[in-house]
Amino acid sequence: MGVGVARSVHPIEDPSRPTGPVARVGWPAMGDALDGITERNRTSAERLRAIGERLSEEDLVRTIDRPWTAAGLFAHIAFWDRFVLERWRLAAEVGDPTPVSVDQTFMERINDAALDQWLDAIHVAREQRRT
């Protein structure tokens, strides 16, 4: 059976959100649009979680497209999902209708900087399960 994928509450699903300036400026102004985004995000996350739960540890560490592994791709997707969410939160906090754009070259640098951590994520999880 698969090694499983940790279930955590996505910040956008957190019933205690929003707080601070976001509550006053951004979230209410986004209204139904945010609800639609939240539902699509939740559906996508559940599909990915279901795939991850079916994969064995061997599947997760197998190279897909050098240097990427399935585990590395899951970590990459999770990072960018959270990054986009935080950009939306920042936009809401300052009252902007959309997040600030991120240059493609800068995104590639982020990917380069984080790649080793993403690829090591499965090994870190394995060690945490042992302790």
pLDDT band at 30, cuts 50/70/90? Answer: low
**What pLDDT score does 73 carry?**
93
**Residue from 17, 9, 21 nearest 90 by CA:** 21
Bridge partners for 63 per DSSP: 69
Q: Which helix (H) or strand (E) holds 64?
A: strand 63-65
pLDDT band at 46, cuts 50/70/90? Answer: very high
Q: At residue 119, what is the residue type?
A: L
Question: Does the pLDDT value for residue 21 go beyond 50?
Answer: no
**What pLDDT score does 32 carry?**
60
**What pLDDT score does 107 carry?**
94
Q: Which of the two residues, 39 and 9, has the higher pLDDT score?
A: 39
Mean pLDDT, rounded, of the chain:
78
Model-wide pTM > 0.85: no
pLDDT band at 68, cuts 50/70/90? Answer: very high
* Tokens 């640098």 sit on residue: 109
8 Å CB contact between 99 and 87: yes
Question: Does the pLDDT value for residue 4 go beyond 70?
Answer: no
Q: In whole angstroms, what is the distance from residue 34 CA to residue 2 CA? A: 33
Burial class (CB in 10 A: 0-12, 13-18, 19+), 68: middle
